[in-house]
Structure 1
Amino acid sequence: EGANFIVGPFFNPEIAELCNRRLVPYIPGCGSVTEVGNAQAAGCDICKVFPGDVLGPSFVKSVKAPMPWTQVLVTGGVKPEEENIRAWFKAGASCVGMGSNLFPKDVIKARNWAAITKLCCDSLAIIAEARE
């Protein structure tokens, strides 16, 4: 019972300790190499780069240069567009997360589920290609 994983906006060592005790993956938000290093030292296997649109793909590349083992999830500013998604994976992202860009408010309001399904399918296809 409970959560299968925890994603947070920042690194909290108390949450990391609790999650480790319960064998629940914790993916904290990190905005510096120090935060990534501290999160990894606390047992976090994946670090969330947030906000991605502020930090940019160059941040991911810069983190991975001295720490190539780092697994990065990028959120915030990831767009369901080929150029955007490819840039993140080329920089070394392990995965990406999308919210409002994948589920636009106007499309939800219009209940256009087919459009959202298409955005999701198209994004997954781009991701599959980008990860090859």
Structure 2
Amino acid sequence: MQNKIATLDALCARARILPVIVINDPADVLPFADAMAAGGLTALEITLRSAHGLDAVRLLRQERPELDVGVGTVLDVRMFDAAVEAGAQFIVTPGTTEEILQAGVAAPIPLLPGIATPSEIMQAYRLGYRRFKLFPANVYGGVDALKAFAGPFAELKFCPTGGVNPGNVKNYFQQPNLLCVGGSWMLPGDVVKAKDWTRVEQLCREALATLD
């Protein structure tokens, strides 16, 4: 697990923001990814919220090997295995089950399991996990949750996702137990639907600029 923790640490240090991406049109995959990469976001979480997610991962791994491509919204082991087979470099889940946590221990790539409570953290901690997704962050305390977790779970780090936006993202980055943040505020639906990739690039660049 130490190697997987180190992999997540390095990936998130490079990324700072992990964009949560839904692919609704297969033709969008490469221009979408290229626009985000040009804007500075080179680690992508392709969700399984649409039927095109796994095909998008396969295409990106083949055509854009320089990007870090993961799979999100993984809900069970069947989806987990399919993500690994598609070439995912990391997996993100919205929550945890014993079955998924065990799959993550056995998998060749790191899992960032979703948690919201101390009990969920402890369940995963027992199996060696030290990096987590806090989801939905805005519902379960956000920055205050990170501050509270820092006491009993001092060695752990978190990627809050859900409700992260330009108005609060700098507050998250002031927390020493932050891994990175996840979100899609730089990918507004109307801009993506219009295939305005220049605007996507600009919004990604602006999102990173807010952290400095």
1:64 is the counterpart of 2:150: yes
Following TM superposition, by how much is the alpha carbon of 1:43 offset from its aligned partner in structure 2, in angstroms?
2.4
Measured against aligned partners, the alpha-carbon deviations of 1:64-120 in whole angstroms (never above 9, x if no partner) come to 1221211101111111x1x41111122332100112x22111111222222211111
The partner residue of 1:40 within 125, 130, 134 is: 125
Answer yes or no: is the 8 Å Cα contact 1:11–1:35 preserved in 2. Answer: yes
Bigger helix share: 1
1:23 is the counterpart of 2:114: no
TM-score by length of 2: 0.54
Answer yes or no: is the 8 Å Cα contact 1:39–1:47 preserved in 2. Answer: no
Q: Give the match for residue 90 of structure 1.
A: 174
1:110 is the counterpart of 2:197: no
TM-score by length of 1: 0.84
Which runs of no fewer than 5 residues in structure 1 stay unpaired? none
Measured against aligned partners, the alpha-carbon deviations of 1:13-59 in whole angstroms (never above 9, x if no partner) come to 22221221223211111111121122122222311100011122101
Answer yes or no: is the 8 Å Cα contact 2:137–2:160 preserved in 1. Answer: yes
Q: Give the match for residue 119 of structure 1.
A: 203
What secondary structure, in the 3-state scheme, does the structure 1 residue paired with 2:154 have? coil
Following TM superposition, by how much is the alpha carbon of 1:126 offset from its aligned partner in structure 2, in angstroms?
2.9
Answer yes or no: is the 8 Å Cα contact 2:130–2:155 preserved in 1. Answer: no
What secondary structure, in the 3-state scheme, does the structure 2 residue paired with 1:10 have? coil
Q: For 2:117 and 2:159, locate their aligned partners in 1 and report how far apart those are by CA, in whole Å.
A: 14
What secondary structure, in the 3-state scheme, does the structure 2 residue paired with 1:53 have? coil
Q: Give the match for residue 37 of structure 2.
A: none
What secondary structure, in the 3-state scheme, does the structure 1 residue paired with 2:183 have? coil
How many residues are paired up?
125
Q: For 1:23 and 1:60, locate their aligned partners in 2 and report how far apart those are by CA, in whole Å.
A: 28
Following TM superposition, by how much is the alpha carbon of 1:125 offset from its aligned partner in structure 2, in angstroms?
2.8
Answer yes or no: is the 8 Å Cα contact 1:8–1:29 preserved in 2. Answer: yes
Aligned CA RMSD, in angstroms, stands at 1.7
Q: Give the match for residue 6 of structure 1.
A: 91
Q: Which protein has greater RCO, CA pairs closer than 8 Å, 6+ apart? A: 2
